[in-house]
Structure formats: structure tokens, C-alpha cells
């Protein structure tokens, strides 16, 4: 299936993107004081944020296998890695100025970039071993934390003091859905399931798939647009 667009996979990305935009809308309502404080980071919305991030990273792992499972295409990988890394750096710079004290230094794009690089090492492993590694990396910060991982190593997720930031998806446990996605991709290849995602390209299917084909661009622009809209609304209402 290499080189082909799978409409079903793009629609799955669209669904994850819609869920992320919905969460960020709630986050912005919280940020601007339009709903009770901390609504976006507690209860249902806490779980919503993590389920959404996990789905994005899982789909990234699935896509990594789809693109490189039959053999790593290094030029294509480095090109994609550079785009994600540049986008992650842009998010860090933008949040440094727009959200003082909440700079994103290891958010979802940083996590996807680093986890994708590490996940290349497991592409040749049997799916069951990759799933076991996913379970182990998920459990690691639950069973082992140490103050030595605070400060400069806080991005590993094994520290004891959570950093103050608007988005934090540390290496552990968030590499787990990446590895799970790689394992799922391998299983889909083994059982010839990829063609099931090649849906009939009807007008509706193409429309639903379009956002999923431009996930990175939409991710980068949706928050500035929404925050700008809120600021404009407050300015007009003043």
C-alpha cells in the first residue's frame, strides 16, 4: 500500500483532529475565564485530552509502519522528521511569547518526532514484542520515578515534579501508543487488512478525508485562529 492514500486512514486522522480542536476550544474557554477555572484540565476533559493525544500518536505509529515497514525510506523519513521538528520548534517559540510561563517544550509534536525516531528500531520486531515494549514503556513512569530526572531530564517523564507548561507529553509513557501503532500496522500487513482502509473515494469520503491529509497545517493554525477570535470578541465587547 506504500505510496497510496488510504481514505479510511485519513478519515481517522480527521476524527482525531476534530477531537483535538474541540478540546482546545474548551481549553481556550478556560484560559479566557469563560468557564469555571481548570475545567479543561480535570475530570472528563483531562481524559479527553489524553485519549485524543494517544489517538494521534497511535496513528503516527500506524503511518510509520505503512511508510517504512517494508524498508526504511530514509529521504522520506528525514523529510517528514524535519517538518515535524520544525513545527514543534515553532510551537515552542509561539507559546514562549503567547503564553508566558506555559511554554510548550515537549508537547505532542515533539513527542511524535522523537518517538518516531526511536520507533524505527522496532520495525523489524514481531508485533507481540513491540506490544510488550509498549506496555513496558507505558508502565515505566508508574513504577519508577526519581528526582534525578527532574530539571533537564524532565522530558523523559520519569521525574517527580511535573513541569508547568501548556502541553506535556513526555517520552514515557507517550512512546507507548507510537509502539502500539507500529505493532498494529505490522499485524494489518500480516493479515492483509490495509486494503479495507482504501474506501471508495466518494465526494463525502474525500471531504471527510481532506482535513486528515493536512493535519500538521491545521494543527498549527487552529489555535492562533481561535485565540485571535476570542481576543477580537473581547475587544469588540469592551
pLDDT of residue 85: 98
Predicted pLDDT at 59: 98
Q: pLDDT grade, residue 235 (50/70/90)?
A: very high
Asked if the model's pLDDT at residue 4 lies above 70, the reply is no
pLDDT, tens digit (0-9, with 9 covering 90-100), for 37-61:
999 999 999 999 999 999 999 999 9
Q: What's the number of CA atoms in the CB half-sphere (13 Å) around residue 59?
A: 21
**b/e burial code for range 73-92 (CB count within 10 A of at least 16 → b):** eeeebeebbeebbebbeebb
pTM, to two decimals? 0.96
Helix (H, G, I), strand (E, B) or coil at 21: helix
Answer whether residue 215 shows pLDDT above 80.
yes
84 within 8 A of 112, measured Cβ to Cβ: yes
Q: What pLDDT score was predicted for residue 2?
A: 52
Segment 69-98, tens digit of pLDDT: 999 999 999 999 999 999 999 999 999 998
pLDDT per residue as tens digits for the range 94-147? 999 988 999 999 999 999 999 999 999 999 999 999 999 999 999 999 999 999
Q: Quick check: 3 pLDDT over 60?
A: no
Distance CA(80)–CA(117), nearest Å, equals 11
Alpha carbon 167 to its chain centroid, in Å, reads 11
Question: What pLDDT score does 238 carry?
Answer: 77
Question: Residues 146-192: pLDDT tens digits?
Answer: 999 999 999 999 999 999 999 999 999 999 999 999 999 999 999 99
pLDDT at 84: 98
Amino acid at each position: 500500500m506504500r505510496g497510496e492514500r488510504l481514505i479510511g486512514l485519513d478519515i481517522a486522522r480527521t476524527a482525531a483532529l476534530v477531537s483535538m480542536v474541540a478540546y482546545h476550544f474548551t481549553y481556550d474557554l478556560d484560559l479566557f475565564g469563560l468557564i469555571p477555572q481548570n475545567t479543561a484540565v480535570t475530570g472528563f476533559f483531562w481524559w479527553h485530552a489524553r485519549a485524543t493525544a494517544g489517538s494521534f500518536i497511535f496513528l503516527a505509529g500506524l503511518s510509520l509502519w505503512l511508510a517504512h515497514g517494508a524498508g526504511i525510506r530514509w529521504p522520506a523519513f528525514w523529510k517528514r522528521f524535519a517538518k515535524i521538528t520544525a513545527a514543534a520548534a515553532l510551537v515552542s517559540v509561539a507559546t514562549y511569547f503567547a503564553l508566558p510561563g506555559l511554554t510548550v517544550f515537549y508537547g505532542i509534536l515533539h513527542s511524535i518526532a522523537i518517538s518516531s525516531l526511536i520507533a524505527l528500531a522496532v520495525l523489524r520486531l514481531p508485533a507481540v514484542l513491540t506490544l510488550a515494549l509498549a506496555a513496558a514503556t507505558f508502565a515505566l513512569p508508574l513504577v519508577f520515578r526519581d528526582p534525578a530526572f527532574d530539571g533537564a531530564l524532565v522530558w523523559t517523564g520519569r521525574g517527580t515534579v511535573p513541569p508547568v507548561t501548556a502541553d506535556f507529553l513526555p517520552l514515557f509513557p507517550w512512546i507507548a501508543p507510537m509502539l502500539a501503532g507500529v505493532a498494529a500496522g505490522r499485524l494489518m500487513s500480516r493479515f492483509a487488512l490495509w486494503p479495507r482502509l482504501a474506501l471508495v473515494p466518494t465526494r463525502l469520503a474525500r471531504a471527510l478525508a481532506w482535513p486528515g491529509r493536512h493535519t500538521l497545517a491545521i494543527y498549527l493554525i487552529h489555535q492562533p485562529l481561535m485565540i485571535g477570535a476570542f481576543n477580537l470578541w473581547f475587544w469588540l465587547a469592551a
